[in-house]
Structure 1
Amino acid sequence: MANIEYSEAIVEVLEILEYSDDNILEKIPKKLIKFWERNKSKTYKPNLDHNKSIIEMNLKDKTKSIISMIYLNYLCNDAEVKEISSIINHNEEIYQTELIKNHNSQHLEKVQNKTNKINENTKSTSIITIDIK
């Protein structure tokens, strides 16, 4: 696996799975676990406190993403999948709205800066007319 961040996250995921109940492990495809075993970091040594819940552990963001994917795809029932998918879609809508707002405000700021520069240039280069009497 080319991405170091993902290969380190896989190490954390595999360690969490080592401490998981067999009924959880049975739901995760063996091919996926083998894939992770092949692509995990060979050098990264996680320092996870297994006395804490997953939520309390200091996990990498990529680890949290993989754990979420496992939960959504292999451990949830249909009602939970529907609820989580709804939350994900809602959060994506909020994110996209914020992106648009941010883009629009940046664009507006650029336009205002250009307008201000034009106004400054116009003031400095305006023609002064002198009436000769």
Structure 2
Amino acid sequence: MWRYEEQKVWSKNEVKWIKHYNSKNKILLAGDGDFSFGLSLAYAFGSATNIVATSLDSYDVLIKKYNGAATNLLILHNYGAQLLHRVDATKMQHHPDLQNRKFDRIIYNFPHAGFIGLEGDPQVIE
């Protein structure tokens, strides 16, 4: 038996929450790795216009290091996120796109060890 369920339609002004973050927060993601965390927020909010996502790596290094990074970056860009590469979290206050900006949330994701390969691969672990 099929059951029809009405889906909630979000208004543009409605605040959407995911854990400690909401769609009205100005969010800075410092070192988002493959940018999947930023993408999860964008999906939850239906937009990423409130998100600035950064990586220490250049774009070229990033897409070589992480299989899904190119796709994640493209989707985030289409959702309206500002994407910055080669941003050193210890010197962000001097970055031309970040200096003099204020954020409601700054999220430092756990740093990646920088290896290439699957994290569960025994050779990578060694």
Q: Tell me the TM-score normalised to structure 2 length.
A: 0.29
* TM value normalised by structure 1: 0.28
- Structure with the higher helix share, 1 or 2: 1
